[in-house]
Amino acid sequence: MGLAEATALACDLADGLSEAHQLDPPLLHLDLTTENVMVTQYRGRLHAKIADFGIAAQVHPTTHMARAQGTLYYMAPEMFWGYATPASDVYMLGFLIYWLYAGAPPFPIPTLVPEASTRDWADAIQQSRNVPAPPLTRFRLDIPPPLAALIAKALSPDPSQRYPNAKAFWADLRAA
C-alpha cells in the first residue's frame, strides 16, 4: 500500500478513536483488532472505520481507568494487570497502524502448544512486549522519520510514555 493511502487510513482510525476519547467521561474501545476495522471505498479512496464497541467501557471519573478486557494479542502491557486507560487504546491503535505500514505485526505471534492455557498465552504475549517493536524503517524506506517516531511512541510499553489519548495521537499524525 502506498504511503499516502496508508496514512489516510491511519488518520481515519485515529479520528474515529479520538471521537470516543473526547466523550465525558472518555469511552475506551478496549478491543482494537484487525477484525474490528472495516475498510470501504468511497469517492475514490479507501476509508477505515472502527467497529464493534461491544466491550467498550467508560473510564471511571475518579481513577481515569476502566477494567481491561479484549483480545490478548493486541492488548497494551498494562491491560495484563487488569486496567486500561485511553493510552491503552492508543497502544492498540499504534499496533494496527504499525501493521498497516509494515505489512506485518509489530510483535511475533507466540508459538505454544494447542493445549496451552489462557494464562500461558497471556504470559507469552506479555514477555514479547518487553522489547520495542522493530523500527518501521526495517519494512519501509519511504516512511518519514517523524511518522515512524510517533508510531513507536504509541507502542511504548510504558503508558506514561505514550500519547495520553487518541486526540493527541491524531494531532501529531496529521502534522507528520
pLDDT at position 100, please?
A: 95
pLDDT for the residue 80: 86
Please state, as a whole number, how many other Cβ atoms lie within 10 Å of the Cβ of residue 141. 7
Domain count, the chain: 1
* Grouped pLDDT means (10 residues each) for the chain, 176 residues: 94 97 95 96 94 91 84 90 94 97 90 80 81 90 95 95 97 93
Determine the structural domain holding residue 114 and report its residue range.
Answer: 3-175
Q: What is the pLDDT of residue 36?
A: 96
pTM: 0.92
CATH code, 54: 1.10.510.10
What does the alpha-carbon distance between residue 146 and residue 150 come to, in Å, rounded to a whole number? 6
Give the model's pLDDT for residue 29.
Answer: 97
Residue reference for cell 479520528: 15
